[in-house]
């Protein structure tokens, strides 16, 4: 589904910007770390955050990823959150910390935090 160029944007140390829908229908955008699992986009967040509450109510999202070195090189995806799970979420955030920070463990984990993996299935992809 993704071209090689689009995959490279997700595989690089490029931030995503995830748009979710607020209860009143207005958009909400959060910068996020991103990864691909096959053709699904994986985002890791914490339980109780606004984006988590929004996608539980309305799973339609959009996400854009731009090359940090060339912001005109980008991919924009509209899709649906098809899974939210705690299973493997701690390992997932550690993998993302390795990718983005070069650290083996996510350094900002708090003891009462419950990580959540959002699996986004693309429905429309554009450059």
Q: Residue 12 maps to which CATH number?
A: 2.30.110.10
Segment 13-65, tens digit of pLDDT: 999 999 999 999 999 999 999 999 999 999 999 999 999 999 999 999 999 99
The structure's pTM equals: 0.95
Segment 94-123, tens digit of pLDDT: 999 999 999 999 999 988 999 999 999 999
Q: What does the pLDDT average to over 71-81?
A: 97
User: Residue 81: is its pLDDT beyond 90?
Assistant: yes
Q: How high is the mean pLDDT of the chain?
A: 96
Backbone angles phi and psi of 101, in degrees to 5: -115, -15
The per-residue pLDDT for 5 is 95
- The CA distance from 40 to 29, in Å, is 19
The per-residue pLDDT for 1 is 87
User: Residue 87: is its pLDDT beyond 90?
Assistant: yes
- Residue 15 in contact with residue 65, Cβ under 8 Å? yes
**Residue 87, domain extent:** 4-126
Q: How confident is the model at residue 127 (pLDDT cuts 50, 70, 90)?
A: confident
- The CA distance from 107 to 110, in Å, is 9
CA 127 vs CA 10, 60, 61, 62, 74: distances in Å: 13, 19, 17, 13, 6
The total domain count for the chain is 1
């Amino acid at each position: 589904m993704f071209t090689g160029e689009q995959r490279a944007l997700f595989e690089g140390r490029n931030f995503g910007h995830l748009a979710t829908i607020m209860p009143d229908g207005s958009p909400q955008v959060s910068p996020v770390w991103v990864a691909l699992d096959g053709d699904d986009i994986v985002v890791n967040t914490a339980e109780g955050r606004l984006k988590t509450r929004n996608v539980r109510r309305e799973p339609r999202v959009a996400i854009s990823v731009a090359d940090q070195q060339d912001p005109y090189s980008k991919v924009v995806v509209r899709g649906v959150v098809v899974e939210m799970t705690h299973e493997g979420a701690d390992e997932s955030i550690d993998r993302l910390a390795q990718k983005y920070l070069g650290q083996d463990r996510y350094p900002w984990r708090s003891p009462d935090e419950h990580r959540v993996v959002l699996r986004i299935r693309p429905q429309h992809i554009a450059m």
